[in-house]
Structure 1
Amino acid sequence: MRQLRSFLAPLWAGHAPSLAATLFAVVVLPLLAATALTGWYSVTYLESLTQARMQKDIELVARAIRLPVSHALERGYERTVQQALESAFSIDRVYGVFVYDSDGREIAASGGLNATMASDRVAMLADSGERQGEFGRVGGEEVFSYFVPLTDAGGRISGLLQVTRKGSDFDGYVHQVRLHTLTVVAATGFGLVFIFLLGHRWAVGRHMRRIEGGLRRVGEGNLAHRLDAQGAREFRVLALALAVNQMLDAIERSRGELQALGERLHRSEKMAALGQLAGGVAHELGSPLSTVDGKAQRLLRRDDLPEPAVAAIKAIRREADRMQRIIRQLLDFGRSNPLRLRAMPADRPLRAVLEPLREQARTRGVALWLDEAASTPTIDVDAMRLEQALRNLVGNALQAAAGQVRVSWRVDGGRLCYQVDDDGSGVAPELRDHLFEPFFTTKPVGEGTGLGLAVAHAAARDHGGEIEVLASDLGGARFCLWLPLEPKIDEQDASHDA
Structure 2
Amino acid sequence: MRPPALLQRYTLRTALLLFVLIPFVLLMGVGGYYSLQQLEQQVEKRMQEDIELIARAIRLPLSHALERGRIGGIEQALASAFHIDRVYGVYVYDENGKQIAASGTRDAQVPSDRAAEIASTGGLQSEYDEAGGQQIFSYFLPLTDSGGRISGLLQVTRRGSDFQTYVNEVRMEVLMGLGITALVLTLIVFFGHYGAIGRYLRSMENSMARIGAGESELRVPEEGPAELSTLSHGINKMLDRIHASQQQIEQQRERELELRLRLQQSEKLAAIGRLASGVAHELGTPLSTIDGNAQRLLRRDDLHERQRQAIEQMRGEVQRMEKIIHQLMDFGRRNPLQQRPVRAATLVHSVRDQCQRDIESGAVDIELLGDNPGPQVAVDSMRIEQALGNLLRNAIQAASSRVRVQWTSTDETVVFTVEDDGPGIDSEHMSRLFEPFYTTKPVGEGTGLGLAVVHAAVNDHNGRIEVDTSPDLGGARFCIYLNEYIGSENAAEHEVV
Smaller-chain TM-score bracket: 0.7 to 0.9
- Pairing 1:170–2:167 present: yes
Residue matched to 1:294: 292
Give the counterpart of 1:266 among 254, 264, 267. 264
Within a 5 Å distance, the mapping from 1:327-342 to structure 2 comes to 327-342=325-340
Residue matched to 1:36: 25
- Aligned in 2, Cα 1:167/1:449: closer, same or farther, shift over 3 Å? same
- Pairing 1:484–2:495 present: no
- Aligned in 2, Cα 1:102/1:397: closer, same or farther, shift over 3 Å? farther
Contact 2:90 2:154 in 1 (8 A): no
- Aligned in 2, Cα 1:149/1:249: closer, same or farther, shift over 3 Å? farther
- Aligned in 2, Cα 1:191/1:315: closer, same or farther, shift over 3 Å? farther
Residue matched to 2:130: 139
* 1:182-217 Cα shifts (integer Å, max 9, x gaps): 464367458747958966972454455555555xxx
Percent identity, please. Answer: 32
Within a 5 Å distance, the mapping from 1:14-29 to structure 2 comes to 20-21=9-10, 29=18
- Aligned in 2, Cα 1:247/1:202: closer, same or farther, shift over 3 Å? same
* 1:291-344 Cα shifts (integer Å, max 9, x gaps): 122222233333443333333333222222222121111111112223222122
Distance in 2, Cα, partners of 1:37 & 1:123? 50
Between stretches 37-46 and 422-431, larger displacement belongs to: 37-46
Residue matched to 2:226: none
Q: TM-score scaled by structure 2?
A: 0.73
Question: What one-letter code is carried by the residue in structure 2 that aligns with 1:409?
Answer: W
Contact 1:326 1:449 in 2 (8 A): yes
- Aligned in 2, Cα 1:249/1:139: closer, same or farther, shift over 3 Å? farther
- Aligned in 2, Cα 1:199/1:188: closer, same or farther, shift over 3 Å? farther
Residue matched to 1:311: 309
Residue matched to 1:421: 419
* 1:386-426 Cα shifts (integer Å, max 9, x gaps): 11111111211111111111111223344221111111111
What is the CA distance between 1:444 and its match in structure 2?
A: 1.5
Within a 5 Å distance, the mapping from 1:436-451 to structure 2 comes to 436-451=434-449
The secondary structure found in structure 1 opposite 2:431 is helix
Give the counterpart of 1:181 among 163, 178, 181. 178
The secondary structure found in structure 2 opposite 1:166 is helix
Distance in 1, Cα, partners of 2:106 & 2:295? 154
Question: What one-letter code is carried by the residue in structure 1 that aligns with 2:164?
Answer: G
Residue matched to 1:11: 3
Question: What one-letter code is carried by the residue in structure 1 that aligns with 2:484?
Answer: L
Question: What one-letter code is carried by the residue in structure 2 that aligns with 1:362?
Answer: E
Is the radius of gyration larger for structure 1 or structure 2?
2
Contact 1:115 1:138 in 2 (8 A): no
Within a 5 Å distance, the mapping from 1:183-332 to structure 2 comes to 184-185=181-182, 188-189=185-186, 192=189, 202-203=202-203, 205-210=205-210, 226=216, 228-231=218-221, 234=231, 237-332=235-330
Distance in 1, Cα, partners of 2:369 & 2:265? 34
What is the CA distance between 1:176 and its match in structure 2?
A: 5.1
Contact 2:462 2:482 in 1 (8 A): yes
Q: How many residues align?
A: 457
Contact 1:85 1:110 in 2 (8 A): no
Within a 5 Å distance, the mapping from 1:383-422 to structure 2 comes to 383-422=381-420
Residue matched to 1:464: 462
Distance in 2, Cα, partners of 1:267 & 1:346? 29
Q: TM-score scaled by structure 1?
A: 0.73
The secondary structure found in structure 1 opposite 2:441 is coil
Distance in 1, Cα, partners of 2:116 & 2:269? 130
Between stretches 294-303 and 233-242, larger displacement belongs to: 233-242
Question: What one-letter code is carried by the residue in structure 2 that aligns with 1:11?
Answer: P
Question: What one-letter code is carried by the residue in structure 1 that aligns with 2:272?
Answer: L
Question: What one-letter code is carried by the residue in structure 1 that aligns with 2:3?
Answer: L
* 1:363-388 Cα shifts (integer Å, max 9, x gaps): 21211111114883322222222111
Which residues of structure 2 form unaligned runs of 5+? 66-71, 223-228, 487-491
Distance in 1, Cα, partners of 2:296 & 2:14? 105
Distance in 2, Cα, partners of 1:209 & 1:183? 39
Residue matched to 2:348: 350
What's the RMSD between the two structures over aligned residues? 4.7
Contact 1:95 1:113 in 2 (8 A): no
Question: What one-letter code is carried by the residue in structure 1 that aligns with 2:174?
Answer: V
- Aligned in 2, Cα 1:167/1:258: closer, same or farther, shift over 3 Å? same
Residue matched to 1:360: 358
Which residues of structure 1 form unaligned runs of 5+? 1-8, 215-224, 488-496
Give the counterpart of 1:47 among 19, 28, 36. 36
- Aligned in 2, Cα 1:203/1:126: closer, same or farther, shift over 3 Å? farther
What is the CA distance between 1:103 and its match in structure 2?
A: 7.5
Contact 1:373 1:408 in 2 (8 A): no
- Aligned in 2, Cα 1:36/1:254: closer, same or farther, shift over 3 Å? farther
Distance in 1, Cα, partners of 2:340 & 2:466? 24
What is the CA distance between 1:243 and its match in structure 2?
A: 3.7
Question: What one-letter code is carried by the residue in structure 1 that aligns with 2:410?
Answer: D
Question: What one-letter code is carried by the residue in structure 1 that aligns with 2:478?
Answer: F
- Aligned in 2, Cα 1:360/1:175: closer, same or farther, shift over 3 Å? same
What is the CA distance between 1:438 and its match in structure 2?
A: 0.9
Distance in 2, Cα, partners of 1:229 & 1:399? 56
Distance in 1, Cα, partners of 2:243 & 2:434? 36
- Aligned in 2, Cα 1:282/1:202: closer, same or farther, shift over 3 Å? same
What is the CA distance between 1:467 and its match in structure 2?
A: 1.0
The secondary structure found in structure 2 opposite 1:202 is helix
* 1:91-127 Cα shifts (integer Å, max 9, x gaps): xxx4746577898988655579949797699879997
Question: What one-letter code is carried by the residue in structure 1 that aligns with 2:36?
Answer: E
